[in-house]
């Protein structure tokens, strides 16, 4: 199936660059271009694209408002923001964006965003459907990476950052472990003062040769240290998983 896209940016040169990058991507068809939010909505109504590569700062209806309106479509049109600034990232996630690319868009990031669109179209949810965040956000060499919560294995505090260990590697995010624990208490469980583990990742608790309790994870890797105060609660949690 060819992926039908609309390119939306008020700068013709920016649209041309995206079109050139997309020319190297197999199975992609640009069905329309738009220079403002109203043109985006009109193009989506006319062509029913699978996704829009959408700038935020546009005249009239801006990209965020256009994305919110597209989210109400049935089926919704996937949105990937392409913008010169990262200041709107959290607002973009609230508008149910699948990804957020910072200009100049790199080919590998664009390819990853298109793969996320294909995943979304295949029916594997890429955003939360209950009003909560479905992703964590990591900064990566001038762009932002969305990490789906279902791909996160565990979260580990490291100085002022949290390291997100996930299915595709690990990334740093600028959030506190406590705020993440409060927000996602139904998904993650604390095993140590500096570590939260996805509940579905917990397989068993094991005692090491030096007497410390460790958590064994479904995704493999080295077992994680469990603090003494967390052991009773974790044993109870495992019995109910």
Cβ of 134: how many Cβ atoms within 10 Å? 18
Q: Are 183 and 133 in contact (CB under 8 A)?
A: yes
Token output for 194: 């500096």
Q: What percent of the chain has pLDDT over 70?
A: 87
170, containing H or E segment:
strand 169-173
Residue 130 pLDDT: 42
Spell out the domain ranges in the chain. Answer: 3-127, 148-239
Is pLDDT of 93 > 70? no
pLDDT in tens, 207-228: 988 889 999 999 998 999 999 9
SS3 content of the chain, % helix, strand, coil (to 5): 30, 35, 35
Q: Tokens for 3?
A: 């992926």
- Of residues 106 and 91, the one with the higher pLDDT is 106
Nearest alpha carbon to residue 71 among 131, 9, 1: 131
Q: Are 215 and 205 in contact (CB under 8 A)?
A: yes
Section 115-142 average pLDDT:
66
For domain 3-127, say whether CATH 1.20.1250.20 is its number: no
**Residue 126 has what pLDDT?**
43
CA gap 189, 183 in Å, rounded? 12
Fold annotation for 148-239: OB fold (Dihydrolipoamide Acetyltransferase, E2P) (2.40.50)
């Amino acid at each position: 199936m060819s992926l039908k896209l609309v390119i939306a940016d008020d700068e013709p040169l920016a649209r041309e660059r995206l079109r050139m990058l997309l020319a190297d991507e197999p199975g992609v068809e640009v069905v329309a271009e738009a220079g403002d939010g109203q043109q985006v909505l009109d193009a989506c109504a006319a062509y029913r694209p699978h996704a829009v590569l959408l700038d935020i700062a546009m005249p009239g209806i801006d990209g965020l408002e256009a994305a919110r309106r597209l989210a109400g479509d049935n089926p919704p049109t996937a949105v990937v923001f392409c913008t010169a600034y990262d200041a709107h990232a959290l607002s973009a996630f609230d508008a149910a964006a699948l990804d957020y690319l910072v200009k100049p868009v790199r080919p590998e990031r664009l390819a990853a965003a298109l793969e996320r669109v294909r995943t979304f179209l295949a029916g594997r949810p890429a955003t939360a459907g209950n009003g909560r965040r479905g992703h964590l956000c990591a900064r990566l060499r001038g762009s932002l990476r969305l990490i789906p919560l279902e791909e996160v294995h565990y979260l580990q505090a490291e100085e002022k950052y949290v390291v997100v260990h996930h299915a595709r590697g690990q990334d740093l995010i600028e959030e506190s472990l406590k705020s993440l624990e409060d927000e996602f208490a139904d998904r993650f469980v604390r095993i140590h003062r500096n570590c939260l583990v996805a509940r579905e990742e917990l397989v068993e608790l094991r005692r090491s040769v030096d007497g410390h309790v460790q958590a064994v994870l479904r995704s493999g890797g080295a077992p994680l240290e469990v603090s003494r105060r967390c052991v009773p609660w974790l044993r109870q949690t495992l019995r109910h998983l």
